[in-house]
Structure 1
Amino acid sequence: MWVRDQLDGLWDDEDFVCRYPRDGRPGLSPAQLATVCVLQFLLNLSDRQAAEAVRCRIDFKYALAMELDDPGFHHSVLADFRDRLSQDDRADQLLSLALDRMRRAGLVKERGRQRTDSTQVLAAARELTRLELVLEAVRAALEEAATRAPEILDELVDAEWAVRYGRPVRLPSQPSHPVVDGGYVSIALLDRSARDHQVQLIGPVKASGAWQRKEQTGFTRDDFTIDFDRRRVTCPNGQTSRKWIEVPAMAPYTAARFHPTQFNPCPDRPACTRGTSARTVNFLPRHLHELQALNRTDQQDRQWKQLYATRSGVEGTICELVNGHQARRSRYHGLRKTHVQHVLTGIAINIERLASRAPAHARSPRPPTAFQKYLDSRSLSWECWWRQGK
């Protein structure tokens, strides 16, 4: 009902003209079928349940702009419609149409905060900055010409120039840090990301120790002091290791081994090891070990915890997809149909979130510049070309 009240529907039948033959008997409204598919994934309904809801539920009929006595359609029609969506990126086009309708209605604001859960979200900052400088330089020249001598632009400016230079360019910049979960974080990845991409990964590094960490008792690896210069490790009771082992099969880890005679008389042996042999401590090379220790220290800082709290938005989205819409399991066989399910689920979640909050208030637009006034006088559009993937 919110879709009908706020948007007057997400799609029109004219949006689907190219996907159906021009001849033959008129069929069902494709815009209505697309809306039913979205409502189906919003409410986790099967094809039979969705078709029955269209036939019996008043809120479905209202959302679809159907008469109360409309008998609906057979449930097999939905499977045929999804097959059409799985061809030629039609599902992605459906999502783009829905987002464009929401944006025109003022429900989706531009330049808002976006959350993503990708392994690498990196921008080519140097190339984008150069492109931005070139575009802004040309636009500055056009602004000056539109102010002093607009007649010289009549033979130069066309529709393509209007779209490209009509408004300021703000391209994405290189991120300084993407916030990741603990299952993704590794010390090697933290080091490589900072060294190769100048991006700091923010995420919890697991504590050392196996049963010590699980039982919250005993001596973990962090309780041992590692002296890389003298190539020895000192335990909490002051005993130093006898062997420093760097085996290629264990790379990049190094092992420091204590002698059994050092542990047999030790009163804290049960808190250190449960085996019959002496304790062996495995650790990373110096630069990775120091990075690991620094990260674990930062995790206890209040400022680090506040920064990592932004991860909750991503985790909430994942939880909503997994628990609320069963996104980890596909109803269908094949990647194309699974992709259609993901797209329809995404549209359903957008509707669910937007419907739960008050509509965004429209912001007052900035006054047009001299060049923009020139373009308006020639009926040339200057909408944002870089946000349309062109």
Structure 2
Amino acid sequence: MQPQSWPEPDPQVAAAIRAMYRGRREAPLAVQVRDRLGELFPDAAFADAFGQVGRPGWSPGRLALVTVLQKAANLTDRQAADEVRENLAWKYALGLNLEDPGFDHSVLSEFRSRVVAHGLEERVLDLLLERLQTLDLVQAGGSQRTDSTHIVAVVRDLNRLELVGESVRAALNALAAACPDWVDQVLVVEEWSRRYADRIDNWRLSASKTKQHELAVQYATDGYTLLQAVYAPASPGWLRELPAVQTLRCVLVQNYIRTPDRAGRLRIRQRERAEDGGDGLPPAPIRLASPYDTDTRWSAKRDLFWNGFKLHVSETCHPQADGDRPAGPNLITNVTTTCSTLPDSKALDTIHQSLHRRHLLPARHYLDSGYPSADLIVSSAKDYGIALVTPVLLDTSPQAKAQQGFAAHDFTIDWDRKRAVCPAGKISATWNDVVQDGVAKTVVAFAALDCIPCPTKEQCTSSRKGRRLSLYPRELTEAIRTARAQQQDGTWQRDYALRAGVEGSIRQATHTTGLRRARYRGLAKTHLDHTTSATALNLIRLNAWWNGHPLDRTNHSHLARLQLRLAA
């Protein structure tokens, strides 16, 4: 690949575009992007993913634009390749002439694989945001908001029994493709084909628990037999390095235990949950859910249970008075794709690091209650200068829950003199710095001689001894107390209502680009799909802003419009 500047739009194509969209008709998105942003994705930005010798290929910068336009229209690879050949607006944006045949649709898949292999998943979003920064459409500071949503994996949902059987089948197919002669010599192909030729979930499992258990042991026996043959000294060493073989090993270890009996024979039994008296299954973050996508995980959130990933979307947000035109379009500044089992609070620092790399850190960051912690509130302000606008979890002590008696916030903490004063005026007896569950805390205890005769003891503690307080370090305790006090104020609650708009952005993303279900296997390619979709959504929003369209895309029925008119 030799980086070159994009050619100017072909005169014939440009003349046809001007004729078709003369007057009040708005030009399509692709035309407006080329006219207003020019060469948005230069070839040089993708040079690391391509060699400088060999057969010439298609311009990677223009392939990046095709991928973004593809997401904006929610097209398949074949449909996108057809648009390049047939759509004059796309030819105009790419600088192609009327006779240009375009490319085969498989080029798009190869392009994505190269981008992922060289760690360029975020390049298109970075390039767009850099251009918008030069146009003063997005800047550091101001306000941003973030929320997460679930992403369903592209692979089939399998229960534990189907997972093991499908893992054996996947390993067999990989071995048969890689070294068919070895499979023919070592295995009885006809016998194995009888059980594993078709997908495991193609037939209905028996309702009998006994038969299901027998089938589970049979799958495990076949799996161990296959691995024993692969790891035999006479077998080629490279066979054991096949990904499907390694996945089978992991699935068997996670779901079965082999123990010797009195005769020395290995007995296979399934792992059961520790709470059910079993040996325990691996924790959810490392438990495989499919042999065809080892990055996807089962996860649950309230009443939602899904197999896939989690997406965090961050966008700018502008406070807007009623009837006023917004100061600018709300633009997506970052998307982070994580394992579905990762808590939102664990993703926040990664989000801030990405925004810092793009020089787009906000001054105020609006989040829901799943993101903050006392440590994050303090570290975000100290490391990035970001004020987190988010409801923190309330005090969970029995007194706070009952809303009667003395909770921890009713005690005065004198950090300098290392003591606490209770509401009755008694001073703490001990002050100890400890580590609880790996977290540094301070345990403050009051003397039993002060607490037992106290007339307000029943409102304070049910302990036979004195009251005890478990405090985070000073900075964290003061931050969490301040946040809890602020969120009780009506002004804070009205300001926090700005966060709700990000849910509409997630709805637009899932509706316009089909983000709810992943298109590709693996976390890296799924993240590339998300960054491309975010870039496409930004272009759609910019197009609406350029043409003066309202950014509110809420669809109202005729009855709803009548109700709004009557209410006005």
TM-score (norm 2): 0.38
| Pairing 1:246–2:432 present | yes
Partners of 1:320 and 1:275 lie apart in 2 by: 53
Q: Secondary structure at the match of 1:77?
A: helix
1:344 to 532, 556, 559: 532
User: 1:297 corresponds to which residue?
Assistant: 485
State the AA in 1 paired with 2:539. I
Contact 1:37 1:78 in 2 (8 A): yes
Partners of 2:428 and 2:57 lie apart in 1 by: 83
Deviation at 1:79, TM superposition (A): 0.9
Contact 2:363 2:387 in 1 (8 A): yes
| Pairing 1:209–2:396 present | yes
Partners of 1:316 and 1:53 lie apart in 2 by: 27
Contact 1:241 1:257 in 2 (8 A): yes
Deviation at 1:345, TM superposition (A): 2.3
Q: Secondary structure at the match of 2:470?
A: strand
User: 2:68 corresponds to which residue?
Assistant: 38
2:112 to 53, 57, 82: 82
Deviation at 1:67, TM superposition (A): 11
State the AA in 2 paired with 1:208. D
State the AA in 2 paired with 1:81. F
User: 1:333 corresponds to which residue?
Assistant: 522
Partners of 1:287 and 1:91 lie apart in 2 by: 38
1:110 to 128, 132, 136: 136
Greater relative contact order (CA < 8 Å, ≥ 6 in sequence): 1
Contact 1:244 1:256 in 2 (8 A): yes
Q: Secondary structure at the match of 2:441?
A: coil
Structure 1 93/199 Cα, relative in aligned 2: closer, same or farther at 3 Å? closer
Contact 2:419 2:444 in 1 (8 A): no
Q: How does 1:1-390 map to 2 (within 5 A)?
A: 2-8=28-34, 16=43, 33-42=63-72, 44=74, 49-52=76-79, 55=82, 61-65=87-91, 75-86=105-116, 94=124, 109-110=135-136, 112-114=138-140, 115=316, 118-119=351-352, 177-179=363-365, 181=367, 182-188=369-375, 190=377, 199=385, 201-204=387-390, 205-210=392-397, 217-219=403-405, 221-222=407-408, 224-226=410-412, 228=414, 231-234=419-422, 238=424, 244-250=430-436, 251-256=440-445, 280-284=468-472, 289-301=477-489, 304-305=492-493, 326=515, 331-333=520-522, 335=524, 337=525, 340-359=528-547
Contact 1:253 1:283 in 2 (8 A): yes
Structure 1 52/307 Cα, relative in aligned 2: closer, same or farther at 3 Å? closer
Fraction of identical pairs, as percent: 25
Structure 1 280/327 Cα, relative in aligned 2: closer, same or farther at 3 Å? farther
Partners of 1:179 and 1:13 lie apart in 2 by: 29
Partners of 1:178 and 1:90 lie apart in 2 by: 29
Partners of 2:453 and 2:518 lie apart in 1 by: 54
Q: Secondary structure at the match of 1:246?
A: strand
Partners of 2:139 and 2:515 lie apart in 1 by: 26
Q: Which structure 1 segments of 5+ residues have no match?
A: 124-171, 361-390
Partners of 1:319 and 1:276 lie apart in 2 by: 54
Structure 1 30/212 Cα, relative in aligned 2: closer, same or farther at 3 Å? same
RMSD of aligned residue pairs (Cα, Å): 5.8
Partners of 1:78 and 1:314 lie apart in 2 by: 31
TM-score (norm 1): 0.50
Partners of 1:178 and 1:13 lie apart in 2 by: 29
What is the CA deviation profile of residues 40-60 of structure 1, one whole-angstrom value per residue up to 9, with x for unaligned ones?
Answer: 433555xxx3414654x8998
State the AA in 1 paired with 2:412. I
Contact 2:31 2:90 in 1 (8 A): no
Partners of 1:267 and 1:97 lie apart in 2 by: 64
Deviation at 1:37, TM superposition (A): 1.9
Deviation at 1:6, TM superposition (A): 1.3
Partners of 1:218 and 1:280 lie apart in 2 by: 17
Contact 1:233 1:256 in 2 (8 A): no
Contact 2:380 2:387 in 1 (8 A): yes
Contact 2:420 2:428 in 1 (8 A): yes
Partners of 2:452 and 2:86 lie apart in 1 by: 74
Deviation at 1:333, TM superposition (A): 3.1
Deviation at 1:274, TM superposition (A): 8.1
Deviation at 1:352, TM superposition (A): 2.1
Contact 1:13 1:30 in 2 (8 A): no
Q: Secondary structure at the match of 1:207?
A: coil
Partners of 1:41 and 1:246 lie apart in 2 by: 57
Deviation at 1:38, TM superposition (A): 1.8
Deviation at 1:110, TM superposition (A): 1.8
Partners of 2:364 and 2:60 lie apart in 1 by: 40
Deviation at 1:341, TM superposition (A): 3.0
State the AA in 2 paired with 1:6. Q
State the AA in 2 paired with 1:82. R
Structure 1 39/220 Cα, relative in aligned 2: closer, same or farther at 3 Å? farther
State the AA in 2 paired with 1:346. A
Deviation at 1:347, TM superposition (A): 1.8
Q: Secondary structure at the match of 1:248?
A: strand
Contact 1:212 1:220 in 2 (8 A): yes
What is the CA deviation profile of residues 277-317 of structure 1, one whole-angstrom value per residue up to 9, with x for unaligned ones?
Answer: 87643234666544543343333345545665665677766
Structure 1 313/245 Cα, relative in aligned 2: closer, same or farther at 3 Å? same
Contact 2:85 2:101 in 1 (8 A): no
Between 84-93 and 36-45, the greater mean CA deviation after superposition:
84-93
Deviation at 1:34, TM superposition (A): 3.5
